[in-house]
Amino acid sequence: MINLKEKIRARSARVGVIGLGYVGLPLAVEFAKAGYRVLGIDILPHKVSAVNRGKSYIPDVPSDKLKTLVSKKYLEATSDVSRIRELDALSICVPTPLRKTKDPDISHIVSSIEAVAQYGKKGQLIILESTTYPGTTEEVLLHALQAKGHKVGKDFFLAFSPERIDPGNPRYHTRNIPKIIGGMTSKCTEIAVAFYESVMDKVIPVSSTKVAEMIKLLENTFRAVNIALVNEIAILSNRMGIDVWEVIEGASTKPFGFMPFYPGPGLGGHCLPVDPLYLSWKARLLDFEARFIDLAAQVNGHMPHYVVDVVSKALNERGKALNGSKILLMGVAYKSDVTDVRESPAFDIWKLLSQQKAKVFYHDPYVSKIEMDDQMLNSHPLNSKTLKQFDCVVIVTNHRVFDYDSLVKGSSLVIDTRNATKAVKNNRHKIVKI
């Protein structure tokens, strides 16, 4: 019988990816490009259909490349979880959101591993990539997989490898971002490293699944805490009449001991608003208060309120009230040049403005439709004529395709939350920065 390492070496291992979102689909494509036969599994029929038609819904995955892999039968998608029995190695890349109580929701992980436990076969490699609290792989996945009496490191191999995808990043993508691997046993780590080394530029083994899980949370907590710090500095600088962007630019000239972070309208995406709270929740179970994490969440969560306060003050100085004003939000995606609107601060800003009776619209070239208050709304057309209809334009997302010169020239007031208009030399009286 051919063992798994030999199958990996020969590219004859059948690979599966559960969850075909911003992490899973690019990962499936990388394995397919490396010569593996890949099966993508997702519960959403429209994603399965799109993949099988070679139509990408992820900006980082060009449709032409996806279509080629599908047509050559290196990649296919299904909603049939029973096909897990066909696989030799599979990566779980499912969402891990928060509940309304801000506690972790790992229900997608649980349902995925239950399917693996039901339909899996001996000798499989299972790797969890979904961000979660330290201990999940051991406490949830291992328990489910050993329920049949199978032994980890012998009958199956289990590891955790944190996803590090940065959607829209032109420099770093799935293949060239160093890959952390932590296995339940040394054999698990060995097999998982061999598997990912066949497609990734650099793989870094660590001592355990818990260490690998904690690495991911440290990375994102580091960013969230530092963004909170600079958000506070931005508010303080504003009150002191200081340009915080010039301060950051100046501080960045120091070649050691400083790393630039930038203020904004609030945190968005799946990672930064969510992941640190997984660690905070775990800390509470251990009777430990993660004060930096909780304070950072409060500061960053307040930023949409601060943006609305800036809008209200700027309108008031021009003799207008929020009530009845027409306001255009430029960009509702959570970051530049992506279609992803998860946890976007644009929605918090929208709701706060609407509560003040403002009339809110949006424009986003990457997001044609959004759902707000059970209504489907379309991106507002943008040109010099439509810009003049608005009392205020709020730049929420700094898409590179935006023409900020035209935006400033055509608008009576621009609230710039991203320093997007830094190249505009004229009409400074129209621009208010946070």
Q: Is 271 a residue of the active site?
A: yes
Q: What is the b/e burial string over 324-357, where b = at least 16 CB atoms within 10 angstroms of the residue's CB?
A: ebebbbbbbbbbbbbbbbbbbbbbbbbebbeebe
Question: How far are the Cα atoms of 57, 220, 345, 397 from residue 22, in angstroms, in the given order?
Answer: 9, 17, 19, 19
> Looking at residue 152, what DSSP letter applies?
B
Taking the C-alpha atoms of residue 76 and residue 51, their distance in angstroms, rounded to an integer, is 7
Cβ 423 vs Cβ 430: under 8 Å: no
Question: How far are the Cα atoms of 81, 123, 264 from residue 153, in angstroms, in the given order?
Answer: 24, 9, 46
State the catalytic residue, choosing from 93, 188, 271, 392.
Answer: 271
Total residues belonging to the chain: 434
Pairing mode of beta strands 369-372, 375-378: antiparallel
Pairing mode of beta strands 359-363, 37-41: unpaired
Residue 62 host element (H or E): none
Residue type, 231: N
Tokens of 177: 């971002």
Residue 183 host element (H or E): strand 179-183
Catalytic residues: 271
